[in-house]
Each structure stands twice: as C-alpha cells, then as structure tokens.
Amino acid sequence: MAESDVTHAEVEGEDSLAFEDPEYREAVVDLLAVIGYGLISAFERLGEDATLAPHLEAKVQLGRMAAGELGKLGRIEARMAELGSDPFEAMEPFMAAVDAFHANTAPADWYEGLVKAYVGDGLANDFYREIAAYLDAGTRSLVIGTLEDAGYAAFAVAQVRGAIAADPRLGGRLALWGRRLMGEALIQAQRVAAEREGMSSLLAGGIDRPGLDLAALGRMFTRLTERHAERMAELGLDS
Amino acid sequence: MAESDVTHAEVEGEDSLAFEDPEYREAVVDLLAVIGYGLISAFERLGEDATLAPHLEAKVQLGRMAAGELGKLGRIEARMAELGSDPFEAMEPFMAAVDAFHANTAPADWYEGLVKAYVGDGLANDFYREIAAYLDAGTRSLVIGTLEDAGYAAFAVAQVRGAIAADPRLGGRLALWGRRLMGEALIQAQRVAAEREGMSSLLAGGIDRPGLDLAALGRMFTRLTERHAERMAELGLDS
C-alpha cells in the first residue's frame, strides 16, 4: 500500500514533466507492457516446467517461482492504467517476440528448465535494471520493485550443481543451453527494439533525462554479458 | 505473521490434549496432507487451464487463481512440520486419488475449466469447512484460513453466465459436466476414506472432541449437495 502511494504521488508530482512528453509516456507504457507480458509468460512456462520436477518439493519450489512472477504483475497493471492505457491491449504488440523466445527455448528436461528460469530471469532483470536508470523516479522504483527475487535462485543453483556433480557430462550440455538462451534473448530483444522506436528512444534520453550514446550502449551490453557469465559460473557452467 | 503465531501458541497450549492421542495427530497430518496436495494439484491444473484462456486478461485471472492455491500451502507445510511430519512425504499416499480426480476431469475447453475451478474449489472448501468443526481450535483456524477466496469466483461466474447467454446449448453441456465433477469427487473422496482409517476417525470424534453419527453424516452430505446445487445455479446451470 505505502509503496503504491509513493508511486502515485510521483506520477502526479515531480515526474509530471517527463510525462508531458507523449512519446515518453508511450515508451514507458511499452516498457511496462513488455515487462508485464514477460511476467505472464514466465508464469506459464515455469508452471509447465514444474510438471517436469523429479519430486513434489521441487515442483512446489518451481511453482512458487511461477506464482512470484504473476505476483509482480499487479503494480505494473495499475501503473499502466494510471497512464491511461489498457494493460492487456498494450501487451499485444510484444506477445510475438516473448512467445517466440519461449517457443525456441522449450526445456527438454528439468535441468534445462531450471537453468532457463535462473539465467533467463537474471538476464531480463539485469536489462530492466539498466533501463531503469533512464526513467523518471516513479517508473524506476516500480521497475526495480519487480526485480526482487524471493530466494528461489539459490534453489536452482543447488539443484543444478548437485546434478552436475553426479553426472559431469550434464555440465557440457547445460553450458551449450545457456549460450542458446543468451543468443535467443538477444535476437528477440533486437526485434522488439527495431519494431518499437519508442522503446529505443527511452535509452536516447530526453530534455530532463540523461541519455545513452553508442559507447555507453556498448558498455551496457558488456555488463550484461559479464553478469550472464557470473550466473553461469554460479551454476558451475562455462559460458 | 500474527495469524501463524496464534496457530503456534494453540499447538503448544490448549490443544496439546488432543495431540497427546497419536492417532489424532496422524489423522490431522493426513488431513493437512490431502489439503496440501490438493492445493499443489489445483495450482498445476489451473495453470494448464489458463493456456485455454480466450484472451490475456482472462489468462491472468485464472493464473491468479492458480497462484492463490499455492499461496495457501506455506502455513499447511509449516504446521505439518510442527507436528513432526515431512509435508511432502505425507502427501504421497494421497497423490493417486487427487491425480485420478484430475485425470478423469480434464476440461475440454476454457468453460469446462472455469466450471471445474469454481465448482471443484467450492466443493472441496465446503468439505474442509465441515470437517474443521471436528478439529482442535488451532488446526481448525488453519484449515478455515486456506478457504479464503480472493474474489476470482465472481470472475468465473461472470464468464460462464456470459457464454451461456451467447450460446444456450453450452448450458446443457456444462450442467452435465458439473454432475460429472461431483460424481468423480465423491468416488475419490470415498477411496481416500476407505484407505486411510485415521481420516474417517476424525469424524468419529475423540475424548475431548465431538463426533459425528451416521445420521449427522447424512445431513452433512445433504448440505454439501445443496451448496453444490447453489453454485451450479449461480453459474446459471441445472444440477
């Protein structure tokens, strides 16, 4: 309650300048729509992956990761409505890219599902955290708020490390899988950026917001790649 | 937090007499195990049904019903552990009956899924509410706490009524579907009661708990059937 009040106050107050620019408003709606549909889609895929769980407790853990994604959606929806947009209509343009990502990275087994949940979630969160720096304060705090991890990452890491210790060949297969996830994420992110100019313009900045030049964009991708490698190492995998 | 503190205090305090009877303790663990696995299973099935949703907002609504089921599981798990039982091990004996219920009532479309979620959840909740009357206060408040509905029932009712208004033949098919759900639920409930004597003994009462004679059991089934009929009527369906 308290948090959403703060967000609302900021929309009305100090951030109203940014939102006077209709392009900025549209770009923020686009961003929230991508994040929102990403959450819905992650909920669905994690729910499917849970059916692959080797035992009941593991199934519940993955189920809780799934439910957590949907739990973050409420505030995104509310903010989109505040900005005068129908949340689910606004998500439609992004469904194809997100769905294609998932269709092209359907896990073949429980461990591929875990690696995807951990690495995919981490990558998306890093990306949103980077973008958040270029947003008005209200939207930034909302976006950062969706990035909380309820501690299920530790579960994924323990499961994957344990399985690799028992069967080292699994590590080679999962390392390749991690590369495929990263590649497919980049392909779909580029597709979204190309189709929605507003999203790219967020990074370019505005009158009262700092922007990003090409060199800075390059450094951002370097950071994303480094953090991906760290996560793979955390799982005991080469990247 | 406050609620789980109360529960814990009650286990330690006034209810300790009931739990001195190892059969009672075992029967309560059985009951919580059935409820717990029922929640996990409902989460999975509702997640699957969500993929049948005609549009994104409906998918999210069903997804939230699914997540809500899993959200109730935490306190059940905690109480089972308090009673000295491994929650997921304790659920194993009940998996076959619950899985059979779902396997025999796989929805053919979105509306069958909604009716199942609404009618099935309602029936299970009524049954647990009836049983709760025969439990110690701490377990009773825990069980009643899992029966909260976050308002998604209204969503199911609106969807189904709208669809029947548009296509009255759907009403006939869904009415038959409701009867099948009720029949299958009774078959599986009877199977559980026959296999787990402890569960039935809960209803028979104990030194410090009131019991249920055959006539009272008959009245309980009458109440369950009446409430089922009310829910079907709520959906605009004959029962």
Residue B102 scores a pLDDT above 80:
yes
Nearest residue on chain B to A37, judged by CA atoms?
A: B56
Among B188, B187, B135, B162, CA closest to B28: B135
Which of A89, A82, A110 lies closest to A16, judged by CA?
Answer: A82
Q: How many CA atoms lie within 13 A of A156 on its CB side?
A: 29
Nearest to A91 among B56, B91, B95 (CB): B56
Distance of CA A8 to the CA centre of its chain: 23
Q: What's the gap in Å between the CA of B114 and the closest CA on chain A? A: 17
Nearest residue of chain B to residue A58 (CA atoms): B88
On chain B, the residues whose CB falls within 8 A of the CB of A62 are none
The full DSSP string for B29-46 is HHHHHHHHHHHHHHHHHH
Q: Which residues of A touch B66 (CB under 8 A)?
A: 47, 67
Q: Tens digit of pLDDT for each residue in B135-145?
A: 888 899 999 98
- Are B175 and B236 spatial neighbours (Cβ–Cβ below 8 Å)? no
Residue of chain B whose Cα is closest to the Cα of A90: B56
pLDDT of A7 reads 44
Q: Look at residue A8 and give its three-state secondary structure.
A: helix
Spell out which residues of chain B touch residue A60, defining contact as CB-CB under 8 Å.
40, 70, 73, 88
* Mean pLDDT for chain B overall: 86
Report, as an integer, the average pLDDT of B61-74. Answer: 90
Q: pLDDT tens, B158-189?
A: 999 999 999 999 999 999 999 999 999 988 88
pLDDT confidence bin for B203, thresholds 50/70/90: confident
Q: Along chain A (239 residues), what's the average pLDDT of each consecutive run of 10 residues?
A: 43 64 88 93 89 91 89 93 95 93 93 92 89 88 82 86 95 94 88 77 70 79 92 92
DSSP string, B172-189: HHHHHHHHHHHHHHHHHH
Phi, psi for B209 (deg, rounded to 5): -130, 140
Distance CA A16, CA A64 (A): 37
More confident residue, B149 or A126: A126
B206 phi and psi angles, rounded to 5 deg: -155, -175
Q: At what angle do helices A56-71 and A73-82 cross, to 10 degrees?
A: 10
How many CA atoms, within 13 angstroms, populate the side-chain half-sphere of residue B132? 18
Is B64 close to A47, i.e. CB distance below 8 A? no
Chain B residues whose CB is inside 8 A of the A95 CB are: 56
Q: Which whole-number Å values give the CA distances from B211 to A56, B15, B214, in the listed order? A: 34, 17, 10
In the chain, the amino acid numbered B130 is: E
Per-residue model confidence (pLDDT) at position A81: 94
- For residue B112, what is the enclosing H or E element? helix B110-115
Ordered structural domains, chain A, with CATH: 2-9+17-234 (1.20.1260.10)
Q: At residue B23, does pLDDT exceed 90? A: no
Question: How much is the pLDDT for B212?
Answer: 72
Q: Any bridge partners for residue A228, and if so which?
A: none
* Among candidates B50, B55, B71 on the partner chain, residue whose Cβ is nearest the Cβ of A44: B50
Q: Look at A59 and B48 and tell me if their CB atoms are within 8 Å.
A: no
Is the Cβ pair B40, A48 closer than 8 Å?
A: no
How many Å lie between the alpha carbon of B177 and the closest alpha carbon of chain A? 25
pLDDT confidence tier of residue B216, bands split at 50, 70 and 90:
confident
Q: What confidence score (pLDDT) does residue B207 get? A: 64
Query: What single DSSP character describes residue A151?
Result: S
Residues B20-31: what's their mean pLDDT?
Answer: 88
Instruction: Tell me whether 0.85 is exceeded by the ipTM.
Output: no
